[in-house]
Amino acid sequence: MQSDFHAERASMLHVGIIMDGNGRWAVRRGLSRLRGHEAGVEAIRRVVEAAPDQGVGTLTLYAFSSDNWRRPRTEVAGLMALLRFYLANEVQSLVKNGVRLKVIGRRDRLPDGIAAAIGRAEQATAQGRTLNLRIAVDYSARDAILNAAARLAGAAGAPTRQQFSDLVTGEADLRDVDLIIRTSGEQRLSDFLLWEGAYAELHFTETMWPDFDAEHLAEAVSAFHHRERRFGGLDALPLAPAASL
Ligand code: FPP
């Protein structure tokens, strides 16, 4: 049985975005890398606002990977401060726009107070029905798969794909990701949505994330609709059935 929330999104796309290029965007302008990340937050606002009108029901944004801890301490601290700021200041507008926020990834390594702020933001936006916004923080797709497997260790019998999927994604009946966009010309997945993205279409653009806007999203979604998705069969399917494949 699909939960109501995800049943409502059955005909809407799940788009994932690897928001890359903030640092280069800033350095090219003689600015600090952190200024690039700040401009990246403005791009998040634009895309969150534009997504529902483009048929996107779920948007998963890669904000901080578990490997990003290896960046210089000042940059990590800056990114965490931005996340804190986003959670404190964005909730009102998310609620107003009907956005439900969920943060995926580990919370136990985040600086003091951020896990609690995430919990508050998720609770405040829980009734949102226009967009399912998922922000990946301290996220690793391989760890998500590993954790799901560990939770099943000792269970009798093999899980169904749907059961395993629910554990990996942390959401019952989340739609598989249809389209993964990566900005800044890089062409790799970097440990993002490896399970949910088994049949995702990939869209790579030279645009740096801080320059990304509603038109770039529309271009990616339009390109997606021109792809023929056969899911291993011979006939094109208009939209993917979720994890049941
Ligand atoms: C990749 O660009 C971007 C990141 C590692 C961070 C993405 C973060 C944001 C867009 C803002 C913070 C998010 C929230 C929700 C507050 P890069 O720094 O690797 O760019 P580069 O490849 O040009 O160096």
The reported pLDDT for the residue numbered 109 is 98
> Which residue out of 68, 147, 211, 213 is catalytically annotated?
68
Q: How many domains does the chain have?
A: 1
Answer yes or no: is 236 within a domain. no
To test the ligand 1 pocket, which listed residue (17, 18, 19, 35) has its Cβ within 8 A of the most ligand atoms?
Answer: 19
- Higher pLDDT among residues 215 and 228, named by residue: 215
Answer yes or no: is 126 within a domain. yes
pLDDT band at 191 (very low <50, low <70, confident <90, very high): very high
Answer yes or no: is 239 within a domain. no
Q: Report CA(7)–ligand 1 centroid distance (Å).
A: 32
Answer yes or no: is 46 within a domain. yes
Task: Report whether residue 173 contacts ligand 1, using a CB cutoff of 6 Å.
Answer: no
Task: Report whether residue 82 contacts ligand 1, using a CB cutoff of 6 Å.
Answer: yes
Answer yes or no: is 69 within a domain. yes
Using alpha carbons, list the distances in angstroms from residue 6 to 58, 89, 198.
Answer: 9, 27, 19
How much is the average pLDDT of 64-78?
98
- Give 195-207 pLDDT, tens digit per residue: 999 999 999 999 9
- Higher pLDDT among residues 5 and 85, named by residue: 85
Using alpha carbons, list the distances in angstroms from residue 43 to 21, 51, 55, 148, 215.
Answer: 12, 12, 19, 32, 12
Answer yes or no: is 56 within a domain. yes
- Give 24-55 pLDDT, tens digit per residue: 999 999 999 999 999 999 999 999 999 999 99
- pLDDT of residue 2 exceeding 70, the answer is no
Known catalytic residue: 20? yes
Q: Where are the beta strands (DSSP E) in the chain?
A: 13-18, 56-65, 99-104, 131-139, 179-182, 201-204
Q: How far apart are CA 241 and CA 30, in angstroms?
A: 46
pLDDT band at 239 (very low <50, low <70, confident <90, very high): low
Enclosing domain of residue 205 = 4-225
Using alpha carbons, list the distances in angstroms from residue 231 to 67, 110, 194, 204.
Answer: 31, 38, 16, 21
pLDDT averaged over the chain? 93
To test the ligand 1 pocket, which listed residue (17, 18, 20, 24) has its Cβ within 8 A of the most ligand atoms?
Answer: 20
**Amino acid letter for position 3:** S
Closest to 206 (Cα-Cα) out of 229, 230, 231, 186: 186
pLDDT band at 237 (very low <50, low <70, confident <90, very high): low
pLDDT band at 114 (very low <50, low <70, confident <90, very high): very high
The reported pLDDT for the residue numbered 240 is 53
Q: What is the 3-state secondary structure (H, E, C) of 84-118?
A: HHHHHHCHHHHHHCCEEEEEECCCCCCCCCHHHHH
Answer yes or no: is 166 within a domain. yes
Answer yes or no: is 230 within a domain. no
Q: How far apart are CA 69 and CA 39, in angstroms?
A: 21
- pLDDT of residue 101 exceeding 90, the answer is yes
Using alpha carbons, list the distances in angstroms from residue 102 to 15, 58, 95, 145, 199.
Answer: 15, 11, 13, 18, 23
pTM of the model: 0.93
Known catalytic residue: 147? no
Report for 6-15, 97-106, 152-161, 234-243: range of highest mean pLDDT: 97-106
The reported pLDDT for the residue numbered 130 is 97
Closest to 107 (Cα-Cα) out of 170, 173, 43, 57: 170
**CATH of residue 178:** 3.40.1180.10
The pair of structure tokens assigned to 13 is 């796309």
